Chain A
Amino acid sequence: MFEAQEVNAEHKDLIHDVAYDFYGERMATCSSDQYVKVWDQGSDGKWSLTSSWKAHSGSVWKVTWAHPEFGQVLATCSFDRTAAVWEELVGETPGPGERGTRHWVRRTNLVDSRTSVTDVKFGPRTQGLQLATCSADGVIRIYEAPDVMNLSQWTLQHEIQCKLSCSCLTWNPSLSKNHPLMLAVGSDDNNLTAGGKVFIYEYSDNIRRWIKTDTLSSVTDPVHDIAFSPNLGRSFHLLAIATKDVRIISLAPIPDNANTQSGLNKLDIQTAAQFDDHGCMVWRVCWNITGTILASSGDDGCVRMFKMNYINAWKPVAVLKGDGSHITNEGHRSSVSSAASLPTPPMAAVVSQTARYIKLGTISQSREAPWH
């Protein structure tokens, strides 16, 4: 069964994004109230607010952490047409065994976009500090901090025109000799006749430019989120797409088929799985750390999880759903976890209403490889 800890985010409106740091010990939230908040998990497992500041003059759409190698760094993007990089500083007065006061400072404001900046993501760690943004007018920008100790200097390295308005982007975390830097961008343009809505860009070392290597013509509906799977040492990449359904696309570089000019391989693109379990628009996709479970969120108010089983077929495994009406009638609070001693009971049992009474014997193939 599952258990959950409730953290009241103290935002004045709905949350647009939650990002966890590399270790899952810090949490950043952003909202339409233009604030960004940072939460830290104490050794008792309890989350507490450590910083909160007005980050933008418009809704903050996304927030993301840089790898801790670069310090404690956040990037945000907003309706106010900017993206910003923030760094947490420790005050000069660290007492013995005590941490100094901390505060977040804006290191830079990236103001190149003329429209709402819809997504922001840091590039792979091994490439230094790179930041990609995309905007509603269809421009992808790659910035770089040449000196990772000085985050106030960012240079706009590349500007890629993508004809359609961009809603989301993702870096491919797999990097090696055989895999050049790769970005995938999604568009939520409503016009079905405008063709594919997912674009794959790769960086060519030969000509030092980003090149669009592919457009996924199979995805013509608006795309709202996109995510490359973590690298498991496979020869192919997996890309999850949130559109009118959940798609998992595999991209396999075809060896010995490099473009002579760019040196980039062509990709063999296959749909590995497609789920319309949500039955409606899907808004978010997210891989777990090891890329074994995909969580998708849709208009049906559910977070659905999909897992690959031992014969490499993807199956739905669990559903999480918000429902306030069961709070009072649940007799299952016994599954409240050990942290229940916190002041306002923040640990609420996530009760499995359907699960309790399900006849396990009737469960079909889908249980082949369940949630751990």
Chain B
Amino acid sequence: MEGALKTFTIPNELCRRAGVIGTWLPINEIGIFPSQPVKTSSSDTVSPYGPSDASVYNVRQQVILFEPILRKLLNEANGTFLSVQELMASNLPDYKSELLKLSRQYRSIIRACLENLQDEAVCDKTNYKEELQNYITIFYSVECIWHLCEILFVENIPGGVVLPHLLEWVRFHFPKYERNAATLLREDTIGIELQPYYWETVIGSLMQGRIELVQALLQLHSSADGKPFQLAIQALREMPLYNIYGGVSISEFNLKWKHWVSDTQSTIDAKMFTSERYLNLIMRLSVGEETAWNDVQAQREPWYAFLAASLFFREPTVKAFELGQLARQCIARVKGGVHMRHLDHVLLAAMELDLIQVIKEIQQMSENGWFVSHLTDLLYHCGRLEALQSDDTNLMGGRLRECFLLDYGTLLMGHNSLWQVGLNYLDHCPTEGLSTIKLLLARLPLKSEARTHKIIREAHKRDMPQIIQSICKVQAMNSARNGRMGNALTWALKSQDGAFTSLMADKFLLHYKGSGILLNEDLLDNLGSSVLISDRLIFLGKYFEFHKEYRLKNYKEAANILISLLASKLTPKYFWDTLLCDAIDLLENNVMVISSTYTFELLRYLEEKCDLPELKDKVGLIRLGAARNLSRALLYEIQYDKKDA
């Protein structure tokens, strides 16, 4: 096990001597620091390493996907991913062909990305070029594997005859011969065979199964009118090509093929081509002569190109399930056990139709799970993961897909601006997606109000009231800490948490008590029905109204509000003295504004609260005011009653 695990070293001597401890930090980082364990029984002494220069290492995974140049790949793939999910949700009967289209869409995204990378790599003169080259290698492999997987697992090949697709695959990834042939044909010069790459191109085209192209090229040869060439062109023209739609059964085709081989062989044996060395080679290759094939092996670098070529001439009707064995033979022949690259392993596994192995291998590619998550998702929807060896097949496949999507989504959530893309992936994880979103969404740093609103919107979409509440409370707390009380109250209101809003309202009241200034009057004036969330806020709102009326010199209204506040049972303990002192002004007002009944009531509250220490020196004053007001109120009311009577 030990040998199989990746070990990463922290370049720090103290870390080695003392040992390290790791602590995770949101979202995808780990902090590593040198530390020495302590036991509860150990005494408090200086460690043998002190005094020392301890450092904390914040370790994170290097994510190439976060490179700006790959941003397009990321976003476009996300679009296609969503199309796949939409397609599967739509229950379309013909979904398989649609999936194939989407698979091609993925490939074209990779292709576009590769081209982009290549352009950049050409222009770039800095160290970054090397990185770009790395990316090109990675994504080239991705494209190559994706294409093969598409042929073997996504495409529904009639009759299972994969060869034409394989040839297409090889042609696509080794376009050199086609390009060269096009140049040769375009030039159409005399003495074309003097071009250094003429024969190479002819043989190359032959190996990719482009028989017509070979004929065309041979026609251009300056001795094309000679007998050997004419014979060769003739033979190639008559070469039977297998086509599933050709109406020819396999056995019939095989018979035809045998005829053609024996005919051509006899022409070769008659030494008709010996005057032209290459032509002879071509014909010997066509009939599958062992020695000839051994000769060309050297120039066919990758085994899979060679495999396609040899299948074309020997097993044109090969079925997908036979590929693995043939591929192994081919590797043994070409490589002779020479070191296989990673790409070779993946391609071999794919040809052996060993999906688990393919998925296992492609995780090793250093593109941070982009490839494996998208491909696994696609294969899952194609029903390919159901074939995994397990009792509970469908479940396992789905779980495998979800694991990759979870990892990929979490990775993106860790990025400052890609978190919304990450959400899209987590949304499609049926079992743990939502809980993961809950854990991660709350952890996104609330860097600006705009970003916070965005996060809240996403939480809202997914019906996560608790997350929203928590975010609002954090924002309120931050605003309050920075002295922006109005903002704090707004956020507290958004949190819909009564108790918490009360705490914020308390801050307003306490501030008023201390300074005599009510903060953010605009806001208080416009609270409307939102005050109902908390008693304390209702009190604050009413108290503000009292101030407003008082300032407008509507003393009567102000007095009414004040008395109703006293009676409301909403008054916080610490605010009684303020409220009662506010009454003095009204009691002593030039015009009588508090009726006798209200004055009695006021006195009752005063008697209830007169033990409050902060009220001590004011009790007398209030009583005096109350008494005087009571006298004029009673007088007035008697007169008023008389008038009425």
From A231, A327, A350, contact of B59 by CB (8 A):
A350
Decide: A13 near B52, CB < 8 A? Known: A317-B5, A326-B9.
yes
Minimum distance in angstroms from B344 CB to a CB of chain A:
9
Chain A window 4-45, contacts with chain B (Cβ cutoff 8 Å), 1 for yes, 0 for no: 111111011111111110111101010111000000000000
- Shortest CB–CB separation between residue A32 and chain B, in angstroms? 6
Candidates A188, A224, A299, A324; contact of B15 at CB < 8 Å: A324
- Do residues B13 and A324 form an inter-chain contact, with CB atoms below 8 A? yes
Nearest-CB distance from B422 to chain A (Å)? 12
Residues of B within 8 A of A126 (CB): 466
Bound together, the chains give a CA A18 to CA B35 distance in angstroms of 10
A50 CB → nearest B CB, Å? 14
Alpha-carbon distance between A28 and B13 when the two chains are bound, in angstroms: 23
Whether B58 lies near A47 (C-beta < 8 A) is yes
- Enumerate chain A residues within 8 angstroms of B6, measured Cβ to Cβ: 317-319, 352, 354-355, 358, 371
A258 part of interface (Cβ distance < 8 Å): no
Contact present for B27 and A289 (CB under 8 Å): yes
B625 interface contact, C-beta 8 A: no
Interface hit among A202-210, A246-254, A361-369: A361-369
**B53 partner residues in chain A, CB cutoff 8 A:** 8
Kindly specify which of B108-116, B218-226, B364-372 makes contact with the partner chain.
Answer: B364-372
Contact assessment for B12 and A61 in the assembled complex, using a CB-CB cutoff below 8 Å: no
A88 to B482, CA, bound (A): 11
Q: Give the nearest-CB partner of B33 in chain A.
A: A15
Q: Does B445 contact A (CB under 8 A)?
A: yes
A36 to chain B, nearest CB (A): 14
**CA–CA, A58 and B506, complex, Å:** 38
Question: Which chain A residues in 99-130 approach chain B with CB under 8 Å?
Answer: 99-100, 116, 118, 125-126
Residues of B with C-beta under 8 A to A94: 482-483
Interface size on A, residues (CB 8 A): 124
15 contacts between A and B (CB under 8 A): A8-B53, A14-B35, A290-B439, A292-B410, A296-B22, A299-B19, A321-B20, A322-B14, A322-B34, A324-B14, A358-B4, A366-B4, A368-B360, A370-B363, A372-B411
Q: Is B39 an interface residue (CB 8 A)?
A: yes
A99 close to B34 (CB less than 8 A): no
Bound-state Cα–Cα, A317 to B61, Å: 13
Inside 8 A of A326's CB, which chain B residues have their CB?
A: 9, 11
Q: Does B198 sit at the interface, judged by CB under 8 A?
A: no
Interface: B24 (CB within 8 A): yes
Mark contacts of B476-492 with chain A using CB atoms, 8 A cut-off: 1 yes-contact digit, 0 otherwise: 01100111000000000
Contact yes or no, B60 A15, CB < 8 A: no
Is B470 on the interface with A (CB-CB < 8 A)? yes
Name the B residues within 8 Å of A367 (CB-CB).
4, 360, 363-364
Closest partner residue, chain B, to A330 (CB atom): B11
Contact A322 B50 (CB under 8 A): no
How far is B399's CA from A297's CA once the two chains are assembled, in angstroms? 29
CB distance from A174 to the nearest CB of B (A): 10
Contact check, B50 vs A32: say whether CB atoms are below 8 A apart: yes
Segment of B136-144, B314-322, B430-438 engaged in the interface with chain A: B430-438
How far is it, in angstroms, between the C-alpha of A125 and the C-alpha of B439 when the chains are bound? Answer: 13
Tell me which of B7, B35, B411 has the highest count of chain A C-beta atoms within 10 A of its own C-beta.
B7
Known contacts A100-B483, A348-B57; 15 further A-B pairs (Cβ under 8 A): A3-B59, A16-B38, A32-B46, A90-B482, A166-B40, A232-B436, A284-B22, A289-B27, A289-B443, A290-B439, A297-B20, A300-B19, A316-B1, A318-B5, A372-B369
CB-CB under 8 A from B60, the residues of chain A are 2-4
A298-322 residues with Cβ-Cβ distance < 8 A to B are 298-303, 309-311, 316-322
- Report if B36 contacts A (CB, 8 A): yes
Asked if B506 and A295 sit within 8 Å, CB to CB, the answer is no
B80 CB to closest chain A CB, in angstroms? 21
Q: Which of A64-72, A153-161, A211-219, A260-268 contacts B (4 or more CB under 8 A)?
A: A64-72
Q: Does B82 contact A (CB under 8 A)?
A: no
Is A136 located at the chain interface by the 8 A CB criterion? yes
Max chain A Cβ within 10 angstroms of own Cβ: one of B40, B60, B436, B444: B40
The answer to whether A149 touches B507 (Cβ under 8 A) is yes
C-alpha gap A349/B53 in the complex (Å): 19
CA distance A19 to B59 in the complex (A): 15
Any chain A CB within 8 A of the CB of B631?
no
A61 with B38: CB separation less than 8 A: yes
Smallest CB gap from B497: residue in A: A69
Out of A18, A233, A277, A352, name the residue touching B23 (CB < 8 Å). A18
Task: Tell me, in angstroms, the Cα distance from A264 to B462 when the chains sit together.
Answer: 32
B41 lies within 8 A of chain A by Cβ: yes
A69-B473, A167-B40, A287-B24 are known contacts. Are A292 and B443 too (CB-CB below 8 A)? no
Q: Of B131, B345, B396, B435, which one neighbours A233 at CB under 8 angstroms?
A: B435
* Neighbouring A residues of B411 by C-beta, 8 Å: 372
Please state if B1 and A303 are interface contacts (CB–CB under 8 Å): no
- Known contacts A188-B40, A224-B37, A324-B11, A71 near B59 by CB under 8 Å: no
- Spot the interface stretch: B400-408, B562-570, B637-645: B400-408
Shortest C-beta distance, B196 to chain A (Å), equals: 37
Complex-state Cα separation, A320 to B73, whole angstroms: 31
B144-169 CB contact bits vs A (8 Å, 1 = yes)? 00000000000000000000000000
Cα distance A253–B407 in the bound complex, in angstroms? 28
| Residues of B close to A287: CB separation below 8 A | 24
Contact A321 B9 (CB under 8 A): yes
Chain A residues within an 8 Å CB radius of B22 = 284, 286, 295-297, 303, 320
Contact A297 B11 (CB under 8 A): no
- Give 7 closest A-B pairs by Cβ, nearest first: A322-B15, A324-B13, A13-B50, A303-B22, A233-B435, A20-B25, A24-B26
Best-buried of A14, A68, A233 by chain B (most CB within 10 Å): A14
In the complex, the chain B residue whose C-beta lies closest to that of A149 is B503
| B56 beta carbon closer than 8 Å to chain A | yes
Whose C-beta in chain A lies nearest to the C-beta of B131? A334
Cα A32 to Cα B13 with chains together (Å): 20
Q: Tell me, in angstroms, the Cα distance from A138 to B148 when the chains sit together.
A: 63
| Docked CA distance A47–B478 (Å) | 21
Task: Assess the A59–B24 pair: CB atoms within 8 A.
Answer: no
- CB of A323 within 8 A of CB of B16, answer yes
CA distance A72 to B478 in the complex (A): 9
Known A-B contacts A15-B54, A32-B50, A320-B59; A297 and B8 likewise in contact (beta carbons under 8 Å): no
Complex Cα distance, B432 from A232, in Å, reads: 6
Closest residue of chain B to A119 (Cβ to Cβ) is: B40
Is B34 touching A321 in the complex (CB atoms < 8 A)?
no
Is A325 located at the chain interface by the 8 A CB criterion? Answer: yes
Report chain B residues within 8 Å CB of A298.
19
Residues A351 and B9 in contact in the complex (CB < 8 Å), given A4-B59, A289-B26:
yes
Q: Per a CB cutoff under 8 Å, which of A23, A69, A222, A348 touches B26?
A: A23
- A353's nearest neighbour on chain B, judged by CB, is B9
